[in-house]
Amino acid sequence: MQAARRHVAEGRRWVVDLDVEKFFDRVNHDILMARVARRVKDKRVLLLIRRYLQSGVMVGGLVEPRAEGTPQGGPLSPLLSNILLDDLDKELERRGHAFCRYADDCNIYVRSKRAGERVMASVSRFLERRLKLKVNRDKSAVDRPWNRKFLGYSMTWHVRPKLKVAVESVERMKGRLRSLFRTGRGRNLRRFILEELGPVLRGWINYFRLAEVKGIFEELDGWIRRKLRAVIWRQGKRVWRRAKRLMLRGLADERAYRSATNGRGPWWNSGASHMNEAFPKAYFDRLGLVSLLDHHRRFLRTT
């Protein structure tokens, strides 16, 4: 990602975003094995890899032989994809292009839209003729780098761009968290935070530690705390329980009772002043909630 940002900072303000259509499903076995054989001379290893590629797939309860593609999720598949697409890397280097590739995701950085369209056409022909791979025309595009994402990241439009978390990555994370919150409504809050939320949030912020735009982490932290306040509100169930809990958290009796009887739903109350005052950030910090913004700041201090 640092290389991608450097290419854009050098004036390559257009990107050819290539998406290979169903890459892991359509890899040609003969072409792939020919590339593997350039590096592996042991025939027993080659036979083992061939059998791995041809291992059957379960369709409707029956095992069918695999004529093309690699097993998705297998530990060997990413390595084999790099071996196959090494030809693409060498071709792009020969042409003098600035590019970034990870497995089947490839971005090529150019200085104009017209140049990008030429590169898109020529590289698509190369992939189809040399490697028998088809470019997905609907998902591939020549566009500004800040309008596209690469490995979950995007970047700002500034002359010296900054890396940021792509909008799609944030929405995907929110979707995953929503399903967790649904399962955590009837559980002990501390245990839910430590056992369910903690590992997910740590893994996510570790992956996006290179991001330089911090606003999204602050926004997502606030959204997570609001969702937790909604869980707390639901757990109260009855008016007197909610009022008593607000009193125990320091609210005046009259205000606590008025808040508990406002007739609003959990999401509205989770964003209201009485819940924010009763359950501030410090409360969730004591429960062990991972703060994305705080973790990101620690990453910046250590780099």
In eight-state DSSP terms, residue 145 is G
HSE toward the beta carbon, residue 45, CA cutoff 13 A: 8
Task: List, for residues 227-266, the tens digit of each pLDDT value.
Answer: 999 999 999 889 999 999 999 999 999 999 999 999 899 9
Query: ∠239-241-246 over CA atoms, to 5°?
Result: 95
Mean pLDDT of 16-37: 87
HSE toward the beta carbon, residue 82, CA cutoff 13 A: 9
- Give pLDDT, residue 14: 93
- Whether residue 149 contacts residue 161, with contact meaning beta carbons closer than 8 Å, is answered with no
Burial degree of 14 (CB within 10 A; 0-12, 13-18, 19+): buried
Query: Is residue 57's pLDDT more than 70?
Result: no
CA-to-CA distance for 143 and 141, rounded, in angstroms? 6
Task: List, for residues 96-130, the tens digit of each pLDDT value.
Answer: 999 999 888 899 999 999 999 999 999 999 999 99
